[in-house]
Amino acid sequence: MEYHLRRHDGEFRWVLDIGVPRFNPDRSFAGYIGSCIDVTERRQAEEQLGQAQEDLARVTRLAAMGELAAAIAHEVNQPLSAIVTNGNFSLRQLESGDPNPAELRAAITEIVNDGTRASAVISRIRSLLMKGTLPRTELEINQIIQDVTILLRNELTRNHVLLRTELAADLPRVRGDAVELQQVLINLVMNAIEALRTCTDKRREILIRSAKNPDSVLVQVQDFGPGIKPELADRIFEPFVTTKAEGIGMGLSISRSIIESHGGQLSIVPASQGALFQFTLPVSP
């Protein structure tokens, strides 16, 4: 048995006592033989371990919430700033006294599209939290690439960046969620734009390619900016890893989990110039 025992100096200790009764040949009781072990330190260590496990569980929950909040902030920031830009543009048009109806209509259409996309992103994050996975549909990846070039048109113009596409014809369809795959491409292209912003002497160009692998579809996003230092290449997919003063470091981490939840892989490939990211998506059966 384990019990609390007051020692000769008055201090209480935890003791583990083990004893076996002994008997004389005439079966009379001859006392116990056994051991008495002081287990005070072991019990304290067990209590501390329990406390540490509780603390760890709390910290893990907090970190998951922090990542979620950062993910929402990251994914919604881009459409929000596009909305503000187009809103300001529309106001200036109206205040000029001679607004151009076609341009005004285009700017307001983009505001509506970006607002719709931001709310689609949030409702996806919410349904991921509640159910785990989103319904998948059959998609053409070239269509998703074209959607993204339209969504980012203003961003590209403003940064004087040319986006070229080399899309393979007759690609098989993939199964997935269009908004999530758009998010991945937007993250990759926005990173490329931000990388090109830092340099003036380089080709201000981004290239998106699509191609067919034996059982998958391949998409590559390449820029001709400063590229990624090899010592950083292992870490950039981790949450909160950023080299930007205003970066959150969530874009690549979110993008990788989206691609992996689609059964594909997102990686960085060594390139002769700039940074080259690629992802694969399994062909829909």
Ligand X SMILES: Nc1ncnc2c1ncn2[C@@H]1O[C@H](COP(=O)(O)OP(=O)(O)O)[C@@H](O)[C@H]1O
Query: What is the rounded (10 degree) CA torsion for 234, 235, 237, 241?
Result: -160
**How far is the C-alpha of 101 from the C-alpha of 85, rounded, in Å?**
17
Closest distance of CB 128 from Mg ion, Å: 20
The reply to whether 255 sits near Mg ion by the rule CB under 5 A is no
The reply to whether 227 sits near Mg ion by the rule CB under 5 A is no
Do the Cβ atoms of 281 and 141 come closer than 8 Å? yes
Q: Which is closer to Mg ion, CB of 191 or CB of 222?
A: 191
Binds 121, which of ligand X, Mg ion, none (CB < 5 to 8 A, cut-off by type)? none
Binds 248, which of Mg ion, ligand X, none (CB < 5 to 8 A, cut-off by type)? ligand X
Site for Mg ion in 45-74 (CB under 5 A): none
Closest distance of CB 188 from ligand X, Å: 7
Distances (CA, A) of 148 to 152, 153, 154, 179, 189: 6, 8, 11, 10, 9
Q: Which is closer to Mg ion, CB of 99 or CB of 247?
A: 247
Distances (CA, A) of 213 to 56, 171, 280: 43, 10, 9
Q: Which is closer to ligand X, CB of 48 or CB of 267?
A: 267
Closest distance of CB 254 from ligand X, Å: 8
Which one of 79, 251, 264, 274 is in contact with Mg ion (CB under 5 A)? 251
- Stretch in the footprint of Mg ion (CB under 5 A) among 161-169, 185-193, 212-220, 262-270: 185-193
The reply to whether 225 sits near Mg ion by the rule CB under 5 A is no
**How far is the C-alpha of 242 from the C-alpha of 164, rounded, in Å?**
26
What does DSSP assign to residue 169?
Answer: T
Q: Footprint of ligand X on this chain (CB under 6 A)?
A: 187, 191-192, 195, 223, 225-228, 236, 241-244, 247-253, 275
Q: Give the other-Cβ count within 10 Å of 277's Cβ.
A: 25
For residue 183 the two structure tokens come to 């998010």
Closest distance of CB 187 from Mg ion, Å: 6
The reply to whether 274 sits near Mg ion by the rule CB under 5 A is no
Closest distance of CB 225 from ligand X, Å: 5
Binds 239, which of ligand X, Mg ion, none (CB < 5 to 8 A, cut-off by type)? none
Binds 218, which of ligand X, Mg ion, none (CB < 5 to 8 A, cut-off by type)? none
**How far is the C-alpha of 175 from the C-alpha of 93, rounded, in Å?**
42
**How far is the C-alpha of 243 from the C-alpha of 267, rounded, in Å?**
18
Closest distance of CB 208 from ligand X, Å: 12
Provide long-range contacts, Cβ within 8 A and 24+ apart, for 143-147.
144/178, 144/181, 144/182, 144/185, 145/185, 145/208, 145/210, 145/219, 147/178, 147/182
The two beta strands, 205-212 and 162-167, are parallel
Binds 236, which of Mg ion, ligand X, none (CB < 5 to 8 A, cut-off by type)? ligand X
Binding site for Mg ion (CB under 5 A): 191, 251
